[in-house]
């Protein structure tokens, strides 16, 4: 497998964690978002959305969108499972993953921040305030939903943890205080003790700067 990735992309980070948890070998192919490599024609031919991650399977099929990739991996390589067996717990884990990947992340990614600057004249201060607002809004909900034990929903890692840890990384990157979200912070601290999370961390990637 080949993973088109960027060390600081939280979406790619989620998939790297899943691959590490399932002990699946892959080739990392960096796509530098900061230099606009995702906008080149060669990459558009790979991923029409021009985003990371994209996962090229050994049979030639290409998968995009982090949650779709994670659920594919969980179906094909079911051990360890990334979704709880109980339907209610499974819905809660998916809900947390979606709060982060659908409600927080899209409004704060590089493309959105660039549009805010180009179309609306947002300066760095305004961009930081925008980013902090949406992270805090989302984490306020996540903190009420999760039940650390020590992971988001008990003693097994789920798709919720795969989304929480990268989003905490983003929050800290933008110097957003997290003291109002003790459960989120606790889950992040516990997950980071797991070797799979350490292997997937941005600073451990070959393209880290």
Exposure class string for 91-107: b at 16+ Cβ within 10 A, else e? ebbbebbebbbeebbeb
Contact 94, 84 (CB under 8 A): no
Q: What is the pLDDT of residue 145?
A: 96
Classified as helix, coil or strand, 30 is strand
Q: What is the pLDDT of residue 134?
A: 96
Span 131-154, pLDDT tens digits: 999 999 999 999 999 999 999 999
| pTM of the predicted structure, to 2 decimals | 0.95
- CA of residue 84 relative to chain centroid, distance: 19
Sites in the chain below the pLDDT cut of 70: none
Q: What is the pLDDT of residue 111?
A: 85
Q: What is the pLDDT of residue 35?
A: 86
**Max Cα–Cα distance, the chain, nearest Å:** 48
Pick the CATH number of 87-196 from 1.20.1050.10, 3.90.1150.10, 3.40.50.1260, 3.40.50.300: 1.20.1050.10
Cα dist. 45→10, 60, 111, 177, 184 in Å? 22, 14, 19, 40, 38
Domain boundaries, the chain: 2-80, 87-196
Contact 162, 201 (CB under 8 A): no
Q: What is the pLDDT of residue 131?
A: 95
Pick the CATH number of 2-80 from 3.40.1390.10, 3.40.30.10, 3.20.20.110, 3.40.1190.20: 3.40.30.10
Q: What is the pLDDT of residue 65?
A: 97
Span 68-88, pLDDT tens digits: 999 999 999 999 999 999 999
Q: What is the pLDDT of residue 39?
A: 86
Q: What is the pLDDT of residue 42?
A: 87
């Amino acid at each position: 497998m080949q993973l088109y990735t960027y060390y600081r992309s939280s979406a790619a980070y989620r998939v790297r964690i899943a691959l590490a948890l399932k002990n699946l070998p892959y080739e990392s192919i960096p796509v530098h978002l900061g230099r606009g490599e995702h906008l080149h024609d060669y990459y558009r031919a790979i991923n029409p959305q021009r985003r990371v991650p994209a996962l090229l399977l050994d049979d030639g099929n290409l998968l995009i969108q982090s949650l779709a990739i994670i659920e594919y991996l969980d179906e094909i390589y079911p051990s360890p499972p990334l979704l709880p067996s109980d339907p209610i717990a499974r819905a809660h884990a998916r809900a947390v993953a979606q709060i982060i990947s659908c409600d927080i992340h899209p409004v704060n990614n590089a493309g959105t921040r660039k549009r805010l600057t180009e179309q609306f004249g947002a300066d760095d201060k305004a961009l930081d305030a925008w980013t902090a607002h949406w992270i805090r809004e989302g984490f306020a909900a996540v903190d009420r939903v999760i039940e650390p034990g020590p992971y988001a929903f008990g003693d097994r890692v789920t798709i919720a943890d795969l989304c929480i840890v990268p989003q905490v990384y983003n929050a800290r990157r933008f110097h957003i205080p997290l003291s109002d979200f003790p459960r989120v912070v606790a889950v992040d601290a516990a997950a980071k003790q797991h070797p799979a999370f350490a292997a997937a961390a941005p600073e451990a990637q070959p393209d880290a700067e």
